[in-house]
Every structure is written in structure tokens, then in C-alpha cells.
Amino acid sequence: MKNKNLNTRFLIVLVLLLGACKEKPVIIPDFSVPKGDRNVLIEEFTGVRCVNCPNGAKIIEEMVAEFGDRVVPISIHHGFFAKPLKQSKSDLNCHCGYGDAVTETLGKGPIGYPAAVINRQKLGSKLFPNKDEWKSIVLNALKQPAPVNIFLKVSGDASNSQWTLDVNLAASEPLDDLFITAVLLESDIIDAQILPDNSLDENYNFQHVVRMPITDAAGESLPALASGEVKEMKGFKTFALQPEWDYKHCSIAVFVHHKSTGTEVLQAASIHLEN
Amino acid sequence: MNLTIPSSLFRASIRGFIFSLLFLCLDTLASGQITGGNLSGGVMNNTNLFLRDSSIGADNTPQYDKQLIGSETWLNLTYNTNTVEAGMRFDLFQNSNLLDPQSSFSDAGIGRWYVKYHYNKLQVSGGYLYDQIGSGIIFRAYEDRTQLIDNALYGVRAQYEMAPDWTIKAFSGKQKHLFDHYKTDIRGANIEGFLNFDSLGGLSLAPGIGFVNTTYDNKTMNDVVDVLTSYRPDERVIPQYNSYITSLYNNLSFGPLTWYAEWAHRSANVLYDPFAKRTLISGDQIEGRIVKRAGDVLYSSLSYAIHGFGISVDYKRTTNFEYRAHPLLPGNEGFIGFIPPMGRINTYRLTARYSPATQYIGEQAVQVDARYKLNRRWSFNINASNITNQNNDLLYRELYTEFTYKKRRKWQILGGVQFMDYNFAIYRGKPGYENVKSIVPYTEVLYKFSRSKSLRVEAQYMFTRQDEGQWAYTLFEVGLAPHWLFEASLMYNVVSFAPKAQLNETLQHHLEEKGRVLYPTLGAVYTHGSNRFSLRYVKQVAGVVCSGGICRYEPAFSGVRFNLTSTF
């Protein structure tokens, strides 16, 4: 009887102790755009046959709305999911080797679509994180200091479709193993896309679609930069638009990255042709 | 000061330790200092030669494009005496597509090591441990090489026999992930026993109670908080570092009646619901969001067997019972528990083509299986299952019938029909797709020419108007005991016999994209003692491969497969 009473009291105390074990609540900070001059590159693998890709595109457009020019998105129509539909007006896969160059640089391609790699780094849980992690990863990437800044100027003649890109780089620390990649993108392309409910939208609005790399798809080598050095590259590249591309909707994404010592994108920037 | 040990250094030091320990054991055994010790082991190797075939989609992966050969090897060694058992396993992956069927994975190292000590009523073990509580719903650490699932607990375990037929067990550690481990802490304990009531006509009970606690590490919590920060304030939830999971279970036996029942509960914490709506600042909604919910599983299996007749009824209800080592892990990664699948495990190629994957957010399932052996020659089986989600939408329904006829020891014929309704939109993640409804008649004939020579023939046909349409399959297998087995099979995508204009849009599209494709397989198997070698030329259609309710997509395969399994 004595033992039974002791056991009962022990159990009561144990239950009370366990009941008193409460965690301190985790605090979710308010969302705010970090101050700084670092921009973030998002390379998204997508395709007209990918039913879930419109959801990925919405997340990217949300980031563009919130972060503005500090996010540089590139939509790569690549692989099986990018094969044109019967209703497609054109093939959004540029067949220019850019998608292959990205997967070759990273050493692997995405498992499923939509997939995005941010600053060509394994951030978050994996190289191609869950779309729910894109925004939080970009937020953290925006907080990083920018080791180099990119200044762009584009000039050209819409009548003969000849354009020239000038690039200036300003390093804030010593940098070597430097490469630069420039890609021509077109937005506001209206064409067919399969939606998440498996219906077909023949007037879907595609944004930031890769039309062609202006440099080598895998990037072009730059000389090392000393801290504080400014490198001017006037007339860096000249290029021509295809007749079916609308220059008013075209932009150029330029980013500086490592290659031999890693794949990290150090800085990104974009400029509209119409500007 | 950062005291993190680089994982490569950690692995190298563990490797050194294990080889030293093994060498010491072998040396001691050789010198006769420990008698009665037993060294055993096994090796398993899969090697694939990838031959590109764009017509079936066997292309655009590193193996088809440039690597050509991929392989996986597992080498086990175990040493045990009366009181001590130690084991290790060396894993080698070379250009393997097992981890990710559309990519390439190469690595090597000690995939597992463990030490176990048994003294009187106490058993303690350390290292990479496989174990489970009850049926595994709240905790199951296991290995499935077909899908490269190996979530062993890297930690310690102690088990003590409190009384005859009663044991208490406790464990603590982290979940293995390839050659590393996730950082979430996992702890658990359970008590289970056996009660016999002879006075009540032989009634016996095997009750148990289990408890698991998981604690996220700071990095995992930061990942979750970072994602929640990007949500609208009204959609944010507050995650907790700790989750508490309990289960009560019992196995009752009473004559021909057996009843296993288990109830499990998980405390409220964050999980990723792929179906929950999330609102963006634009007002658009997308699917998939972190939510915070408690979860439950109720599982029961009742069976009755007497005089050639057996019937079993299984029931399962799952609500928000997904918990992983990291809430944002994709696919089948990081699960801490294992919920039993409820669809019948079909073995024929076409009857297994559409298998229901376990749904962790919401599922209610019933399965009835009845078997009747009329006499020595005739036996019958009928199986029916029905699975719905939390909204009562049909996920899977199957009626499977089978008869078997045996003529002495000369030949055996088996046949039946499967009727199936499969929610393609949910299981394949393709909203808007209609359910696949199919009828599959099948037969298998086994004829023994002599004691050592036999011929087995399978034939199946799938009637359906959805997905890729109709299929035909046949297999011929010649057995030359005791060593050889030769097989040849053909799987043909008939799609439909109707004119193209009469087909629905799905089948028309499929015919245009792929056409009618033949998938042949040719192979030989050689068995000698405990060694088995197989070599096959294979063309295999893309599809979802399931093992125990865990499913994943695998692209088409074209090439040669070699497999070696040996134990010693």
C-alpha cells in the first residue's frame, strides 16, 4: 500500500514536471528587404509541359515585385518539359546550349520541375531547393556583401537590330578566377502553357525567357581585379536580335562568377534594351 | 571556437577505427584467444550498362550521355560470439542512378558499422542501428536498397528484459543520410510484453507502448523560420523544436483469430502540406505550404483462419502524420516512421503498374483478403481494397481475384482478373488528369518436365483508356535446376486497337508522341550455393516504382543489367 501510494505520487510529480516543460516560442521576424548592393541571380528550369511551373513563376514574380532590380531571374526552357505543345506558336527552348552549360557547371541537373538554382550555390537544403525555400534563400543571399558591382549600358539601333553592351566592373576586394556571362532574355511572350489544373492556357505570359547567350554560354574569362579596381569594358559585346524578338521586351542579364574555385555568382545585374 | 569536424575526416577516422577493430577481431580469432566466434558476410552488386534509346525516353541523363556504366556495391561483414556482435558494411556507388534516376551519384565509404553486447538480460548496441517500435508507424529505421532508403539510427540503444516476456528498450541518435546524418535528434523508448491466459481458452496478448521525441537543430529551425518569414503574416505558423509521438499497440491471438491494433499520435508541429493553398502578395494562390498540425494514425489488422479458409480485414486512417528529420525534405527523404501500405502488393508486371503510394497528410483505407483452399488442387483468393483521402475523394480501389490449380507435381496454373481505379492526379502529381481505370486478366502456367527442368509462362493484358492506353505482357522462363534459369519477356504498348480518330485526346497525344513501343527483356540467372549471378538485356518503360508503399518515378531504362548476390 505504501509502495502504491509512493508510485502514484511519483507519477503525479512526473506528469506535472512534463507538463511544465514548455518551449520558449520561436519568433518569426517580419519580412523586410535587406539593405545593400548585392543582387541575386535565380536560374529557373521550366517548360511549357510542366504543370507546376506556373506556380514557380508566380513565386519569382512575387520576388521581382518585392525586391525589384536586386533579383535577376533567368527562365531556362530546357529538357523534356520544354518540348513545344501542339498549340505552341514557337519553341521557347533556345537550343543555344545555355541550359546544358548551367547543368554542366553545377555538375547535375534538376530532378523535377520547377527547379531553380540561386547564385549557382547549394543554399538551403540542396542545390535545387524546394520552391517554398526560394524566397528565404534569396533573402539571405541579399544580406551578403557584394565583392564586385556591375554597371551596364546598352546602345543600339532598333531598326537594324544591332546592339552594343558596355560593362564596367568595380571590385571592393581582390578577386581572381573571374568569369562573366551575359544572356539575352525576352519577356511578355504570349504562348501556350499547361497549367496546374491540367488545362491549357494558350495566352500565357512568359517572362525572362533565355533567347541567346551573348557571351560563351559557360562564361568568359576576366583578368583578376585588385581591391578598388574599376575595369571598363566599352563595346564589351555586340549582338543582333532575331527578327521575331521584340527589343522592347528584351533585357540582358549579366553576372560575374567563379569557375575553377567554385560556381558562386558574385554579382548580377540586368538592363532593358529599351532603356 | 568552431569544433565542427569535417565530414571527410570524420568518415576517415571511423573507417580507420572499424578496420582496426575488425583486424583485431580477426587477429584474435586467428591466434585462438577468442573461441566460438563466427565471421560471416555477404556482397551485393548491381552494374548497369546504359544504351541510349531516345524512342523510349532512355536518354538525357549523364549515364546515357557519357558515363555508360553505373554500379552499386554493398559488402557486409559480421563477427559474433556468445556475447558480442560487430558488423560493418562498405558501400560503393559509381555513376549510380539509384539515388536520383535522372542524375549520377558517386561516393564510397563505410555505410554502416555497429557493435552489440549481450549480457544476461541486457543488450546494448551502438553505431548504425535498424529497429522499429510496434509496426513502425512512430519509428522505423530500415534499409531498402531498391530505392536507396537507408535511414539507420546513428546512435545507441539499450534493451533490458524486465521480466520473462517483458522488455524495455530505449535509444537515442540521429538519422543516417548517405554517408552523413541529419542533425535532428531522435530519442525513443518502448515497453512490450506477452501475456498468456490459458484459462481463457488460450487467449494471448502482446501489448506495447512506445514514445519518440524529436528535436530540430538550429540549422533546421532556421531553414523553417526563413521560409515562414516569406509567408503572409496570416499564413505563418510557429514551429517548435520538439515533437512528441506516442503509440499504443497490441496483438491479440485467440485460436484462429488474430487482431493487431495500433494507435499513434503526434503532437502539433510544422509539416509541409503539398495541397495547402498559399497566397502570394499578388493575391495569386499556389499549392504547397508549411502548416502546423497534430497527427494521428489508427491501424488495425484482423484475421481469421480455419480449415483451409482464411480472411483478413485491414483498416487504416491517417491524419497529418508526416514527420521527418527536416520538414522541407522532398520525396521519400528523412521519414522517421513508416506507415504500412494498404493496397495489395501485386507482383505481376501489369497488375503492379499502378500502385498506391502511402499518403501522410490524409488517408482512409480498408482492405479485405480472403483465401480458400478447396482441396489439394484448387485454391482461390479474392482481395478488395479501397483508399480515400481526408476529403473522401477516391484515391485507389482494387478488386483482385485469383485461382490456382495444381496437377500433382507436374503442372500448376494460376489466373485471375484485376479491376482497378487509380487517382492519377494525386499519385502522379498531375492535377486535372482523370483516374486510370483498368481491367487486367492474367495467367501463369508452370510445367515441370522433370525434377530439374521446368517452364513457366506468364501472360497479362491491361484494358484501359487512360494514361498510355493498353498493354500486353508475356514472359517465358526456363528453369534448369539446380543452377540455371533463362527468361525472355515482351511488354508491348498496344495503346488501343480503335482507329486514332476515335481515341480520346490523351491517347491520341500519346500515339503521336511515342507510338506503339515494344519493351523486350532477355536474361539468364546462375545460382551456385549461396551465390547468384544474373545478366539481363532490358528495355523498360518509365513509371513509378513502389516498395512497401514508398514510391518514386523512374525513367525508362535501356541496357544491360548485371547482378551478383553472395553470402558466406
A10 has pLDDT over 80: no
What pLDDT does B281 receive? 83
Quick check: B425 and A136 CB within 8 A? Answer: no
Quick check: B241 and A109 CB within 8 A? Answer: no
- Dihedral (CA of A185, A186, A187, A191) sign: negative
What pLDDT does B10 receive? 45
| Distance from C-alpha of A148 to C-alpha of A171, rounded to nearest angstrom | 4
Q: Which of A127, A76, A81, A77 is nearest to B330 (CA)?
A: A127
In the A/B pair of chains, how many CB contacts fall below 8 A? Answer: 102
- Positions of chain B with pLDDT under 70: 1-35, 547-549
Whether B239 contacts B218, CB under 8 Å: no
What pLDDT does A262 receive? 80
DSSP state for residue A123 in the 8-state scheme: B
Quick check: B280 and A80 CB within 8 A? Answer: no
Q: Which of B355, B429, B430, B418 is nearest to B387 (CA)?
A: B355
Instruction: Write out pLDDT tens, residues B346-400.
Output: 999 999 999 998 999 999 999 999 999 999 999 999 999 999 998 899 999 999 9
For Cα atoms B28, B32, B38, give the angle at the middle one, nearest 5 degrees.
75
Contacting A with CB below 8 Å, chain B residues are 57, 60, 62, 100, 102-104, 221, 223, 225-230, 233, 236, 238-242, 272, 278, 280-282, 284, 286-290, 326, 328-330, 425, 429-433, 509
Quick check: B328 and A29 CB within 8 A? Answer: no
Quick one: which H or E segment has residue A3?
helix A2-20
For A177-191, what is the mean pLDDT? 96
Instruction: Write out pLDDT tens, residues A130-143.
Output: 888 899 999 989 99
Quick check: A23 and B242 CB within 8 A? Answer: yes
Confidence of residue A11 (pLDDT cuts 50, 70, 90): very low
What pLDDT does A82 receive? 87
What pLDDT does B548 receive? 66
Which pTM was predicted?
0.85
Residues in chain B closer than 8 A to A55 (CB atoms)? 286-288
Quick one: which H or E segment has residue B250?
strand B242-254
ipTM of model = 0.81
- Look up residue B222 and give its three cell numbers: 532556421
User: Chain-wide mean pLDDT for chain A?
Assistant: 87
Chain B interface, mutation test: which of A67, A132, A140, most B Cβ atoms within 10 Å?
A132
Whether B117 contacts B123, CB under 8 Å: yes
DSSP state for residue A36 in the 8-state scheme: S
Instruction: Write out pLDDT tens, residues A204-233.
Output: 999 999 999 999 999 999 999 999 999 999
Instruction: Write out pLDDT tens, residues A242-267.
Output: 989 999 999 999 999 998 878 899 99
Instruction: Write out pLDDT tens, residues A38-94.
Output: 999 999 999 998 888 999 999 999 999 999 999 999 999 988 788 888 899 999 999
For Cα atoms B157, B158, B159, give the angle at the middle one, nearest 5 degrees.
125
What pLDDT does B3 receive? 34
Q: Which of B98, B107, B86 is nearest to B41 (CA)?
A: B86
User: Chain-wide mean pLDDT for chain B?
Assistant: 89
* Amino acid symbol at B180: D
Tell me which of B546 and A98 has the higher pLDDT. Answer: A98
What pLDDT does A19 receive? 52
